[in-house]
């Protein structure tokens, strides 16, 4: 299986892969072991292993990042979820057992979405909200890169509801960024005119 190295695309290995592995409190031992392997060991094997977790197990793990203050660790968790969701082909899809027939407000991924994309989005937005005050350029760029990759992935996988939900939220952070405007323009019309997106918004 070919593993897409999103960390390479995002140019943030210095924030995640190269950081010294810590042991964040609250994470399950199984997830923390894979996260440590992802950051400092066999990255591809860790991604594949995490991508095979059942959705219910991912959901159970998905809120355990709360309370972690180290931003490099948070960025690593977000990327780990992103890569696992891309590898299993479900990134940005509707979660199992969810119809998606709710009023989607175009403001980030709600709990009808599968947990890898939703968890990554929650963490990235948390970091971006902090950067509105602290202005750390590396994490701000990380957030922009994640939105570009996430929307591109959702569009490629034809998970158009995910694309639509991320568009407006991303604009609230990056409205003056040329790179965001480029990806926004490339996905807006196709995403909004698809029957899937129209149905989900009804």
Tell me if 34 sits within 8 A of 46, measured CB to CB. Answer: yes
Q: Which of 202, 196, 99, 114 shows the shortest CA–CA distance to 155?
A: 196
pLDDT at 161: 85
Per-residue pLDDT of the chain (202 residues; tens, 9 = 90+): 444 455 444 444 455 444 555 556 689 999 999 999 998 888 889 999 999 999 999 999 988 888 888 888 899 999 999 999 999 999 999 887 776 555 455 566 777 889 999 999 999 999 999 988 888 888 888 999 899 899 989 988 888 888 888 887 888 888 888 888 877 777 776 555 554 444 444 4
Tell me if 76 sits within 8 A of 19, measured CB to CB. Answer: yes
129 Cβ neighbours under 8 A, 6+ residues apart: none
| Alpha-helical segments (H) within 16-54 | 29-40, 43-51
C-alpha pair distances (Å), 161 with each of 21, 40, 93, 111: 35, 34, 8, 13
> What is the C-alpha separation between 61 and 115, in angstroms, rounded?
9
DSSP state of 152: H
pTM listed for this prediction: 0.83
SS3 113: strand
pLDDT at 93: 92
Tell me if 126 sits within 8 A of 144, measured CB to CB. Answer: no
């Amino acid at each position: 299986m070919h593993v897409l190295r999103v960390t390479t695309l995002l140019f943030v290995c210095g924030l995640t892969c190269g950081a010294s592995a810590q042991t964040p409190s609250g994470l399950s031992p199984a997830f923390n072991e894979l996260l440590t392997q992802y950051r400092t060991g066999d990255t591809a094997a860790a991604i594949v292993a995490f991508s095979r977790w059942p959705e219910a197990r991912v959901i159970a793990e998905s809120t355990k990042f709360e309370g972690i203050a180290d931003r490099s660790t948070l960025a690593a968790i977000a990327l780990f979820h992103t890569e696992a969701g891309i590898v299993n082909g479900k990134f940005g899809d509707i979660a199992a057992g969810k119809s998606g027939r709710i009023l989607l407000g175009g403001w980030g991924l709600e709990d009808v979405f599968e947990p890898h994309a939703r968890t990554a989005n929650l963490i990235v937005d948390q970091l971006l909200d902090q950067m509105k005050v602290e202005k750390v350029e590396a994490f701000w760029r990380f957030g922009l890169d994640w939105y570009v990759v996430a929307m591109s992935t959702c569009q490629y996988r034809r998970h158009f509801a995910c694309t639509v939900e991320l568009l407006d939220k991303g604009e609230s952070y990056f409205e003056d960024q040329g790179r965001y405007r480029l990806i926004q323009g490339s996905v807006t019309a196709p995403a909004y005119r698809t029957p899937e997106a129209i149905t989900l918004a009804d």
